[in-house]
Amino acid sequence: MPFTEGQELPELTTTPDRYLTVRYAGASGDFNPIHIDEQFAQQVGLPGRILHGLWTMAQVARAQTEAAGGPQALRRLQVQFRGMGVPEQEITVRSTVRELRDGNALVDTRAEQGGKAIIRNAEAELSLD
């Protein structure tokens, strides 16, 4: 896909189901109870189980690779985790091409849930080849 500076890439929306955190804990090996035990999460002051930050980051990466034609296009991804995501609420990833440089597109991106940023100040570098 050819990119231009200022171009908004297609939004990615996804709604993690109620069991996602349990499946992701098994896949990642991160069994922190804030991700898999509703009562424990509430006891430590959270609204309930929260999503794994790396799963949310993966959705940011997915938005970039889908826009660029595949995973081979993603050269670099840097994010700042700024909020907690929860299951069963839609997440939207928005991205804008900031700059074209040396055969790559530098893309500013963020992930939001319920109108709040859960990942912001993220930057992806996509190959234009």
In tens, the pLDDT along 91-124 reads: 999 999 999 999 999 999 999 999 999 999 999 9
Decide: 66 and 72 in contact? Cβ < 8 Å.
Answer: no
Tell me, what's the pLDDT at 1? 60
Alpha-carbon distance 21 to 97, whole Å? 31
Tell me, what's the pLDDT at 7? 97
Domain boundaries, the chain: 12-17+52-127
Q: Does domain 12-17+52-127 have CATH number 3.40.50.300?
A: no
Cβ-based neighbour number of residue 9 at 10 Å:
22
Q: Which residues of the chain have pLDDT under 70?
A: 1
| Residue 105: both structure tokens together | 């597109």
pTM: 0.94
